[in-house]
Amino acid sequence: MQEKMLIKGGNKLVGCIDVQGAKNATLPIMAASILLKDQTLRLNNVPNLQDIRTMSALLCNLGADVQYKDQTMVIFVPETLKSEAPVELVRKMRASSLVLGPLVARNGRAVLPLPGGCVLGSRPLDFHFKGLTKMGATIELEHGSVYATAKELKGAKITLDFPSVGATENLMMAATLAKGTTYIENAALEPEILNLADVLRSMGAKITGDGTNVIEIIGQKSLCSATGDIIPDRIEAATYLLAGLITKGSVTVSGINPNYLEQIITKLEEANVSIDINNDAITASWNDSIRGVSVKTLPHPGFPTDIQPQLMALLTLTPGTSVINESVFDSRLLHVDEFKKMGAKIEIQDNVAIVTGVSKITGATVHSSNLRAGAALILMGLAAEGETVVCDLHHVWRGYENMVDKLLSLGANITLLEDE
C-alpha cells in the first residue's frame, strides 16, 4: 500500500459506514488456534488488514495452514507446531506476543523475539512473564528474545498489577491447557476479552467471569475444532463518527452494539454533539453548540486510549478549552507536534494536553507515528483549509480496512500518492 495520502480539506462528510470486524479481537483469537492439535478454527467477520496478514504469516511459519476469503478465515493446526517465532514477523507487530502463552501451554516451549508495532512508550511484557512464571514456566531473556519453557503449566492465582489486555488474553489462553484452576484477578474488561473467552469456550475451554475483575479458567487436556464470530471494531466506528463531526457533517456507523461505544457516546454528548441511536446504528451530527470537554483515558470501561488522538483532533476545532489526560500509554501524545504544524493550539504538561479550540487549521505535510495518530492526522486533513499530505501510512493500514473507499463514499477528497 502507498505511504502518502493527499487530502483536500473542507468537504463535509455525510453518509453511512458498515463497521469492520475488530482487529484487536481477531489477533488474540487467531493466536488461540495454537492451542489446537489436528483441529480447525473457523472465524467469521475477519477484517482484511496488514496486522491480520502478519499474524497469518506467523501462524503459517509455525506450521499452521491459514486460508482467508470474503471475511472468513479457516485455520488448520496440525499435530506438531514449531516453538520459535521468526524475528522478521514478530518485529512488525506487538500483538505477536499473544502467541507466547498458547505456545508454552501446547509445546512446553516458546521462543519469541521482543515484539515491535506502534511506538507507545514502555508497554512492557512483564505482566505476561509474571503470570506465566506463576503457572510454572521459566522465562529467560537472552539476545533480544524471550525463552519460555514449562514441563507442565499448573493452575495459579494471578493478580495483575494493571488490567493489561494483552496479559489477560495471554494468560487466559495458557490457562485453558494448564493442570488445575487458574484465577486472573484485576483482569481486563474490554469487549475483546469477552470475544476471546466466547471462542475459547466454543473450543471446549472452561472459562467463567470474563467481563468481571476475576476470570476463572479450569484447565482441559485438549481443545477441539470450533467456529467463532469476530465482534465489530469499536475504534473504527468511533473514528468515522469523529470524521463526520470534525468536518461539520453527519456520519452513521452501522452493525455495532452501542454499548461498545458507551464511554465515547457519553463524552460526545457532554460536548453537546447530537447523537442518535437506532438499534445497531449510531449517528453523530455536528451542531453549532459543540463545546470543549475534559477526558482521561483509562482501561475499559473508561475512555479508550485508542480514541484519544482522534478526539483531540475534533477538540482542536471545538470552542473553549479541553483537557486530555493520557494515563494509559506514556508516549501517546506524539501526534501533538504534527497537529501544531496545522495550527492547533495545544500545551503539554507531562501526560496532559491542554487544547484551546481554534477557528481553523491549515494543510501541511505531517507524519504519523502510530496507528491511531495516523488516523487522527487524516481527520485533521479532512477539516483543514487547503491541502494536507499524511505520510507513513503503513501504520494506518494496520488497523483500518478499505479506509480510502469508505472516506470517499462519505464525500472526502483524498488521493493516495505513489511512493517516490
Asked if residue 1 has pLDDT above 60, the reply is yes
Q: Are 118 and 146 contained in the same domain?
A: yes
Q: In terms of domains, do 169 and 260 share one?
A: no
Q: How confident is the model at residue 356 (pLDDT cuts 50, 70, 90)?
A: very high
Produce one character per residue of 375-391: b if its CB has 16 or more CB atoms within 10 Å, e if not.
Answer: bbbbbbbbbbeeebbbb
Residues with active-site annotation? 118
Q: What are phi and psi of 364, to 5 degrees?
A: -160, 170
Mean pLDDT taken over the chain: 95
- Same domain, yes or no: 211 and 294: no
What's the whole-model pTM score? 0.94
Q: What is the rounded average pLDDT of the residues 43-58?
A: 96
Residues 118 and 98 in one domain: yes
**Do residue 16 and residue 30 come from a single domain?**
no
Q: Return the percentage of the chain with pLDDT > 90, whole number.
A: 90
Q: Given the C-alpha cell 488456534, which residue does it identify?
A: 33
Number of domains in the chain: 2
Domain with 133 in it: 23-229
Rounded to whole angstroms, the Cα distance separating 129 from 121 reads: 18
- Examine the fold and report which residue of 229, 248, 268 is the final residue of a domain before the chain moves on: 229
Question: Model confidence over 240-249: pLDDT tens digits?
Answer: 999 999 999 9
Q: Per residue in 303-314, pLDDT tens?
A: 999 999 999 999
Identify the domain boundary among 196, 229, 262: 229
Grid coordinates representing 195 are: 470475544
- Reply yes or no on whether the pLDDT at 262 is more than 80: yes
Residue 91: pLDDT above 90? Answer: no
Indicate the pLDDT class of residue 120, thresholds 50, 70 and 90: very low
**In 36-195, at which residue ranges do the beta strands (DSSP E only) sit?**
39-44, 65-69, 72-77, 109-113, 138-142, 145-149, 157-159, 181-185
Q: What digits encode the pLDDT tens for the residues 267-297?
A: 999 999 999 999 999 999 999 999 999 999 9
Residues 125 and 272 in one domain: no
Question: What span, in angstroms and rounded, lies between the C-alpha atoms of 356 and 346?
Answer: 6
Question: The CATH number of the domain where 408 resides is what?
Answer: 3.65.10.10
Q: Has residue 123 got a pLDDT over 60?
A: no
Cβ proximity of 254 and 16 under 8 Å: yes
Whether residues 299 and 202 share a domain: the answer is no
Q: Is the pLDDT of residue 116 over 70?
A: no
Residue 259 and residue 387 share a domain: yes
* Same domain, yes or no: 370 and 413: yes
245 and 214 fall within a common domain: no
What whole-number distance in Å separates Cα of residue 229 and Cα of residue 15?
Answer: 26
